[in-house]
Structure 1
């Protein structure tokens, strides 16, 4: 081990110890004198600040934005701690230990888990804290059937009190565009956080496959480029793959976006293309459906539960925990052609499915019942 590497490891250890001590101190002060805070359900989401819809945010924290509409973030005096597995605070185990001492109920919203295909042998760094949370939880909300299957396999299968609630969408805010006649060049959209390069590369290859079929399409890529630490490096890699497949003039690069800007992005496209393998429950899918966009996707993870048979077309891939299987670009292109041939029918079905199954008002009502049940357990 080089002296430089040793110094970096020591610095990292010192920082971890500092964070550990500071978190203990912060949570001790927060829960030392647990105020009554009033009557009813008082929820703390593990973060002192939850971004507003006007702030840039992505991932699990968006669920806390939804919940804040009916259940504001109570930083002191909460009687429910609600943690989202994909948006955990620093050292969640410490937070939970203090809240348990204060007789605060714990509800965990469980998304995906670490498994070998994405994390190799380094699973426990992510799975360890999440296993602890599920074991301590008074109620677990799995975001899809797939989320429960993967959590049973890699976290714990001993959870007794649970619900399955797919990610919601505000169907009164995410609306279809009032479009004139559709353009001759279809517009495909990729949205959300792009944490894996193959996700982008596969979509660019779909453009190339469509071109071979005589279809000139446009691909819009919006959201955070995050497969490398440096966003500019990601952008350079994206440009390179566009050149490789002759798609430089067919791809539009967007940026990360705020929730209040999301509907206009969806409304500018004809369909959503989602290439990620074993994605647990991507919110971008239900947002796109609410805006009347059919989905062409990797038929894996929790996405088939969201799209069903009527709101898009999936491309079959093997079920595998050990290896990533990107969808075949030619088959994705064929699925795009099929959807485009009946685009109005698919668009209507996508909107109807989102309204019927994923309306945020139903999701909030389900949470209200869960909170009431959990808080009534000791009465």
Structure 2
């Protein structure tokens, strides 16, 4: 069979919010256009060959019509909504979360010609809950612009203290538990270090959660940066010594990949896909020490021990982080993998 050239791709829906999916869409769009592919957000485009559905949509009729016209549908999936089952965040939130899970599962089963999972963890999770049987599936990790996220460039990394960074798009509701873990971790690290330790948090954190964490961190040096641009995140990553991955069960955390690209070693607990991304030369992933699915508090002592090892050999870990990003998480590599996926479901 003669391979069909990929000329016209729809990335749908158009995303314009804070967080990983929007960053992914913008990066992939730039990468595809650099390869000469026409990219847009119109699934009704008569020349469209493939729709890459980022998550789900309530407009199922649009997907049905696309299938009838012979357009292939590739669904990109990360994890599922689950925090509402462990921590009450309101009935409306819970209903919306359950609806979103069912919507994603329905499209995956009945409408998608193929599924791209963001990690092995995400694939295993979906297949455990909803079974296998995808028409076609593959794992493709997120990628970043290695020129924007790089160890060289302006920074203000302090020489007289250790700086721990937390970067997340949104931290609210049950997700705020990650910030509490960060406070406990930094406090325990400070207890064993002669050099002062400070915590910087970047991202969208509602005022109520921010006040709660600030109250908990009375004896911890804490700085809130708020929501920042991609260029600012790179600057902040270069200005830190460690990134603490605060999210529980991340499917493929962009903040971790961005940190590695900036040469910032990463530490965190072994939940989600973190152990797939952070290898021994780039940081440390340690056992949680409890049940994260039940939002139980972790054991921070192993994390402190691992972090002190990284800080003692920081330059080597920083080089390892950048090398890992160059080998596995470049934007060009991600774009090539997606082009291959589009080609596979067209054959």
TM-score, normalisation: structure 2: 0.85
Kindly report the root-mean-square deviation, in angstroms, between the aligned alpha carbons of the 2 structures. Answer: 2.4
What is the distance in 1 between the residues matched to 2:181 and 2:291? 18
Shift of residue 210 of structure 1?
1.8
Flag the structure with more relative contact order, 1 or 2, with Cα contacts below 8 A and sequence separation at least 6.
2
What is the distance in 1 between the residues matched to 2:148 and 2:281? 22
What is the distance in 2 between the residues matched to 1:315 and 1:212? 19
What is the distance in 2 between the residues matched to 1:181 and 1:278? 29
Closer, same or farther: CA 296–63 of 1 in aligned 2, 3 Å: same
Counterpart in 1 of 2:200?
220
Shift of residue 103 of structure 1?
2.2
Q: How does 1:103-182 map to 2 (within 5 A)?
A: 103-115=70-82, 119-120=85-86, 124-135=98-109, 136-177=111-152
Counterpart in 1 of 2:207?
232
Instruction: Answer yes or no: is the 8 Å Cα contact 2:265–2:321 preserved in 1.
Output: yes
Q: How does 1:239-318 map to 2 (within 5 A)?
A: 239-243=214-218, 246-247=219-220, 250-317=221-288
Instruction: Answer yes or no: is the 8 Å Cα contact 2:157–2:241 preserved in 1.
Output: no
Instruction: Answer yes or no: is the 8 Å Cα contact 1:278–1:300 preserved in 2.
Output: yes
Structure 2 residue runs without a partner (length 5+): 87-93
Shift of residue 198 of structure 1?
1.2
What is the distance in 2 between the residues matched to 1:149 and 1:118? 21
What is the distance in 2 between the residues matched to 1:257 and 1:282? 17
Shift of residue 92 of structure 1?
4.2
| Match for residue 8 of structure 2 among 9, 30, 42 | 42
Q: What stretches of structure 1 move > 4 A for 4+ residues in a row?
A: 120-123, 178-182, 318-322
Shift of residue 357 of structure 1?
0.8
Q: Which has the larger radius of gyration?
A: 1
Shift of residue 153 of structure 1?
1.3
**How many residues are paired up?**
320
Q: Is 2:149 the partner of 1:188?
A: no
Closer, same or farther: CA 79–188 of 1 in aligned 2, 3 Å: same
Structure 1 residue runs without a partner (length 5+): 1-38, 226-230
Closer, same or farther: CA 364–279 of 1 in aligned 2, 3 Å: same
Counterpart in 2 of 1:211?
190
Closer, same or farther: CA 125–119 of 1 in aligned 2, 3 Å: farther
Deviation per residue, 1:102-158 (Å, 9 max, x gap): 32211011100234x653597742321111121121111111110110010123311
Deviation per residue, 1:181-218 (Å, 9 max, x gap): 96120111000122312111111111211222134211
Counterpart in 2 of 1:5?
none
Shift of residue 50 of structure 1?
4.5
What is the distance in 1 between the residues matched to 2:151 and 2:268? 20
Closer, same or farther: CA 180–261 of 1 in aligned 2, 3 Å: closer
Shift of residue 288 of structure 1?
0.2
Shift of residue 362 of structure 1?
0.8
Q: Is 2:175 the partner of 1:200?
A: no
| Larger strand proportion of the pair | 2
Closer, same or farther: CA 94–237 of 1 in aligned 2, 3 Å: farther
